[in-house]
Structure 1
């Protein structure tokens, strides 16, 4: 039954994704069929969860955890994404970029104490801007992102990204099963806290927006496009800078 569930979830997400476009082809406006639910979840995340839990934790991470410690922990967490990025790049036919991720993983795991030190980034050919998810790979093939969904605590997603996350987890399932499932939560927790800490300086974007929900939703879709096209979306077209696009996830 567990195996059946693991395969059914991605299949159902794909069906939902194919049946719903994020842009109305007639009006060109953003479709948001779950807006009522999404706004309720947004209010919970933005007005309750973030100010009382996430932001204080992220602030403590930024101000009180020594930089070498926080950087090292994030490096280890990010290093574990490299094999997944390698597979997803191969899926896209991007062999050269795929081996950048593989080489990064080998170098940092071997000479960087399991990834604590990101030695690979000291070499320009091995520098990367983002990891590569299966959702990004689907987007590179023109698969529509689908309807916007705001989930409590988890944040924004779409059927395409949810499918991608399920597939990415399938890649790494044997590893996490071997090391222990709870450690995967530690990995994603570290990455989430660090990402929230880096976004503290971007809060004015939402505070000054006429409708923060819409501003975040559009920024999220722009970031999906930015990642799927390897940054070929120009900041002038998206309305956000490269740094701002990277802070939205």
Structure 2
């Protein structure tokens, strides 16, 4: 293998490894951690499609280990409105200018995350309405911005969803949304065999590391990590939109 090809494989594997271990420890973050690096190496279309595929595989691998612990009713409450909102999300994404859409969504996410800390002591935070609303916003964002986690993280904070239960339950949610996105795009990226092997090997090792670390990390620290990842995703979207506007 040539040195350039080896460097590409190692770059992809490193991003996937960190994303997979983050996903297993905190319950989310694969796309937000891995996608910037995968897009940088492979380009926007192939990079995002690979993120969708590996995100689905990562969630599936975690889900089959923890499916008995998943709170299915709670997941369905956010998943159904999320899937419904992918339809208007696709309509908006096709008509609204990309940079402005990214900036608007990032502002909404930051506002939602901040508000989640303010309303978590209110009775409404435990109701179905907030769950349905969070799912709807997340599904809308998954199509328009490729990021569905921050809205769900805000709901987890507001509703005081225990971190360990949240981390295993949302794997089903991310699995379904990732598969939906793959079906909508209608194809897989064309990569050399070495890159496929490197990505999937890194994903397995990352999840194994996450399996080892997850029980050792106190839930309160994992929850802080989730919130930080969500804020980072929102800020990344904002920077991406502002950079795109500045480059015109």
**TM-score, normalisation: structure 1:** 0.28
Write 1 or 2 for the structure with the bigger share of helix: 2
TM-score with structure 2 setting the length: 0.28
- The structure with the largest alpha-carbon Rg is 1
